[in-house]
Amino acid sequence: MRLSDVRIINLPKILDERGNLSFIESENHIPFKIERTYLIYDVPGGEVRGGHAYKELNEFIVALSGSFDVVLDDGFEKKTYSLNRSYYGLYVPNMIWRSLENFSTNALCMIVASEKYNESDYLRNYSEFQKQLL
């Protein structure tokens, strides 16, 4: 996959005086079936999460609170997205090297994934990732 396959997806936003509401339906608002959701939180200042690619997994990343940067690299070019709202997220397909950086205090990151946790789907070595692109 290339960075051109990455995109911001806006979620439905039901405005209400009682508080706004957004939602995500599997295979509707995001282009894959949801198999897992996980959260990243309490990230100490300056720490970086991720730093890997997935062979098969597609994901959708939302800043539920606070802000952080998603740094992407498809082996040809790099791009950084800053996420800071809960009514949109970043769709990142497989075979994109990605890390999560620059977390604000109290940032809460939700990642919706197309696969259950499977360590053998990770490419944790950048040169291995490059080899798989050939």
Contact residues for ligand TYD (CB under 6 A)?
36, 38, 49-50, 52, 117
Residue whose pair of structure tokens reads 């499977």 in the numeric block: 118
Smallest gap, in angstroms, from Cβ of residue 50 to ligand TYD?
4
User: Which one, 20 or 128, has the nearer CB to ligand TYD?
Assistant: 128
Q: Tell me which of 13, 49, 52, 85 is the catalytic residue.
A: 52
Indicate the residue among 38 and 41 with the shorter CB distance to ligand TYD: 38
What three-state secondary structure class fits 92? strand
Separation in Å, CA 70 to CA 48, 50, 134: 10, 9, 24
**Is 52 among the residues known to form the active site?**
yes
Cβ 48 to ligand TYD shortest distance, Å: 8
Beta carbon nearer to ligand TYD, 29 or 49: 49
Long-range contacts of 40-43 (CB under 8 A, 24+ apart): 40/100, 40/108, 40/109, 40/111, 41/107, 41/108, 41/109, 43/68, 43/103, 43/107
Active site residues: 52
